[in-house]
Chain A
Amino acid sequence: MSAPAHDAPVLTAHRAGLVGCRSCGRAWPEAETICRRCGSALVPPDRRCLNAVWAWLAAGLIFYIPANLFPMLKTSTFGGLRGNSESTILGGVVELMHYGNYGIAAVIFAASVMVPVGKFVAIAWLATVAGRPATVEAAHKRLVLYEVVEFIGRWSMIDVFVVAILSALVQLGFVASIHPGPAAVSFALSVAFTMLSAQSFDPRLIWRGLPLRSRKDHE
């Protein structure tokens, strides 16, 4: 973060009795409910948005379980003579390591295990601490974390695309064929729900000392 006045007093729209539009930035009197410039709903930065965050997060978690239990890819080589294999996400990683492809195994492991789990933890943490009084430095860190989660969320969909490309491409009849497994759907849903969860989170909450709690400084 660049220098500009870390602890200079900042007037927020909320404290000024206004409500800012999250879509176009225009400030409106608090009573307005719809931004008259861009037409999106005006929501004050309070903890109500957290309900949606937790709900989408729970949905994402639920679908992440079958995504790991069911096979992602079904491969058959030489008409099944060299074996039909069904690989789950983790199974695929282990298989790659058996063949010595540690690099690719690491990439897949990062993209389909570490990133989704990290996202669940990060969103849950952000939603838990949201609105608690924070120091300016802590708030900056939380905003960076939120931006990382928001940016990286869509990239988890890469696994679904890989499955789609592989199963469309590898259709060599007797020699080898790959079919998608049911885990692809639940993984895609899990990613979509987590994206919605991150989108429902209102980053302005990071900056607000929660008025419902006693506002004592932590440090």
Chain B
Amino acid sequence: MQTEGEYDLSTGAGLTACPRCDALHVERELEPGETARCLRCNTLLASPRAGAFTRIIALSFASLVLMVGAVFFPFLEISRMGFGNETSLFGVALAFSHGALMPLTVAVLGMIVGLPVLRALLLVYTLLPLARKRRPFAHAVPAFRLSETLRPWSMAEIFVIGTAIALVKVGGLANISFGPAFWAFCGLILVNAASNAFTSAATIWDAIEDAGMATDGREIVPEPRA
């Protein structure tokens, strides 16, 4: 069992290494609102926020609801000279469903629908017990690790900017109107951005550890705890 501020250079207990430059820091429990940055390269190490877990869970549920709307409502509609066409999010992914382009359908669906949904579910799974100060569910560790690994591949926000560019390109050709799914998707981006702002991976790892998961008793336990 470690107490605060103590460290052991032979085992690494009580130390944190910056993931970007490997500089060693002595670990300390941060108060909510505090921010830890690397001394050498200024990389953000941890930034716990008060009530962050509850908010991330709420935002994850919000993003799931919005995603259902985004998938099932019409996305965009165009018309020109009496010809019209309407597409949903699935329609966009299925644009690649001819012949050799087929695998791209799966990839696009994954990047704009599958991974955001999966990440929201994984975050809820990891954080639900932690927010209620319970022991984490089984496999919370690989669940959260998977969620962090998938983070760069979840590209919903890039898709929305892509929509903007596509609209500029078509703008001269036909009249365009937005469906409810488009607005749901825009909302989804804001919700995800907020959720990312509250997520501090180091803090969540600490919380998983403090809540009694895994490890060998090296974790720093805050002083006042019965």
B214, A188: Cβ atoms closer than 8 Å: no
A168, B104: Cβ atoms closer than 8 Å: no
- C-alpha spacing A80/B212, complex, angstroms: 67
* 7 A-B pairs whose Cβ atoms sit less than 8 Å apart in the complex: A16-B9, A21-B19, A22-B19, A23-B145, A39-B142, A172-B78, A184-B96
Query: Min CB distance, B102 to chain A, in Å?
Result: 9
A21, B92: Cβ atoms closer than 8 Å: no
A170, B24: Cβ atoms closer than 8 Å: no
6 other A-B residue contacts (CB within 8 Å) besides A21-B17, A154-B155, A182-B100:
A18-B12, A37-B141, A164-B93, A164-B108, A167-B96, A203-B20
- Residue among B45, B144, B173 with the most chain A CB within 10 A? B173
Interface residues of B (CB under 8 A from A): 9-12, 15-24, 37, 39-42, 45, 76, 78, 80-81, 83-85, 87, 91-96, 98, 100-101, 103-104, 107-108, 111-112, 141-142, 144-145, 148, 152-153, 155, 158-159, 161-163, 165-166, 168-170, 173-174, 176, 201-202, 205, 208-209, 214-216
Q: How large is the interface on A (under 10, 10 to 19, 20 to 34, 35 or more residues)?
A: 35 or more
What chain A residues lie within 8 Å of B112 (beta carbons)? 161
What chain B residues lie within 8 Å of A155 (beta carbons)? 158, 161
Question: In the complex, which of the residues A38, A166, A199 contacts B166, with contact meaning CB atoms closer than 8 Å?
Answer: A166
- C-alpha spacing A182/B98, complex, angstroms: 10
- Residue among A163, A179, A184 with the most chain B CB within 10 A? A163
B168, A104: Cβ atoms closer than 8 Å: yes
Complex: chain A residue closest to B160, CB-CB = A161
B95, A168: Cβ atoms closer than 8 Å: yes
What chain A residues lie within 8 Å of B101 (beta carbons)? 180, 182, 184-185
What chain A residues lie within 8 Å of B37 (beta carbons)? 4
Query: Min CB distance, A211 to chain B, in Å?
Result: 14
What chain B residues lie within 8 Å of A1 (beta carbons)? 41-42
Query: Min CB distance, A46 to chain B, in Å?
Result: 11
In the A-B complex, list the 4 residue pairs whose CB atoms are closest, starting with the nearest. Answer: A20-B17, A161-B162, A27-B12, A13-B17
- C-alpha spacing A81/B11, complex, angstroms: 75
What chain B residues lie within 8 Å of A12 (beta carbons)? 17, 21-24
Once A and B bind, how many residue pairs between them come within 8 Å at the CB atom?
226
What chain B residues lie within 8 Å of A39 (beta carbons)? 141-142, 145
Query: Min CB distance, A111 to chain B, in Å?
Result: 8
Complex: chain A residue closest to B216, CB-CB = A36
Query: Min CB distance, B72 to chain A, in Å?
Result: 16
Query: Min CB distance, A120 to chain B, in Å?
Result: 18
Query: Min CB distance, A9 to chain B, in Å?
Result: 10
A161, B170: Cβ atoms closer than 8 Å: no
What chain A residues lie within 8 Å of B104 (beta carbons)? 160, 180, 184-185, 188
Q: Is A212 among interface residues, defined by CB-CB distance under 8 A?
A: no
- C-alpha spacing A176/B161, complex, angstroms: 24
What chain A residues lie within 8 Å of B98 (beta carbons)? 179-180
B10, A168: Cβ atoms closer than 8 Å: no
B170, A20: Cβ atoms closer than 8 Å: no
Q: Is A52 among interface residues, defined by CB-CB distance under 8 A?
A: no
What chain A residues lie within 8 Å of B103 (beta carbons)? 185
- C-alpha spacing A157/B83, complex, angstroms: 30
- C-alpha spacing A138/B100, complex, angstroms: 45
B78, A160: Cβ atoms closer than 8 Å: no
B170, A27: Cβ atoms closer than 8 Å: no
Question: In the complex, which of the residues B10, B162, B202 contacts A25, with contact meaning CB atoms closer than 8 Å?
Answer: B202
